[in-house]
Structure 1
């Protein structure tokens, strides 16, 4: 079976639907995945970049970004790396003004039984953390 790693622009085209040709090509690959002819893998880093592009380039509201990313992460025909962490992260992202990358770092550290070392005050919104004072 052919394994394919999906780039950010493919997911953005899938969500935004602003390029009919690229959206059609994406759907063709999804159909192949549904038929078990290919495995479409999405890395956590790609989800993070998609969030950034949707927020900064397309100025999409946080709530809409969350819905779109939840939809992508939930799709069974994508092999999403760290799917459980991403699902948890999106629940938190929806309700707190914390960057998605910080939420994922926090959740991965928590899963590993580790703490987070950061100067970022946003980790205070995530409870368990170690933050160095910048003073």
Structure 2
């Protein structure tokens, strides 16, 4: 009997360390983890609330422009090992946020 592959739940800090490369220890770990996800060596899910929190932190604290935020998060969601069943809804919400300047939570509710 083959056991199902473990699915990791990714939190906001892992995504931020990966995108920002701002921590000597955690950023390289996040990069290595996402490389394994990209190669489908690891499976992972990103809860919608984590995506929303990433948008908020990147926009409000790091002053990142919405197109860059959306491009980065969409790229992560598109990695081969991301196993979200709600991926299309999250991507629609991100595009709504980018295209209409609406609040990301409102966009998720509308998606």
C-alpha displacement at 1:6, in angstroms? 0.8
Aligned-pair Cα RMSD in Å? 1.7
| Secondary structure of 2:50's aligned partner | helix
Structure of higher RCO (CA pairs closer than 8 Å, 6+ residues apart): 2
Which residue is 1:2 aligned to?
6
> Where does residue 89 of structure 1 map in the other structure?
93
Larger radius of gyration between Structure 1 and Structure 2:
1
More strand by share: 1
TM-score, scaled relative to structure 1: 0.70
How many residues are aligned here? 106
Q: Tell me the distance in 2 between the aligned counterparts of 1:23 and 1:93.
A: 27
- For structure 1, list consecutive stretches of 5 or more residues without a partner in the other structure: 108-135
| TM score, norm. by length of structure 2 | 0.83
Q: 1:67 aligns with which of 65, 71, 81?
A: 71
Contact 2:40 2:81 in 1 (8 A): no
* Aligned-partner Cα distance in 2 for 1:46–1:81: 15
The runs of 4+ residues in structure 1 deviating greater than 4 Å are none
Query: Unmatched 5+ residue regions in structure 2?
Result: none
Asked whether the equivalents of residues 40 and 80 of structure 2 are also in contact (C-alpha less than 8 Å), the reply is: no
Match of 1:123 in 2: none
Aligned mate of 2:57, from 27, 35, 53: 53
SS in 1 for 2:52: helix
Contact 1:5 1:42 in 2 (8 A): yes
How far apart are residue 84 of structure 1 and its match?
A: 0.4
User: Is the 8 Å Cα contact of residues 44 and 80 (structure 1) preserved in structure 2?
Assistant: no
> How big is each residue's C-alpha offset from its partner over 1:63-82, in whole Å with a ceiling of 9 and x where there is no partner?
21121112112222222341
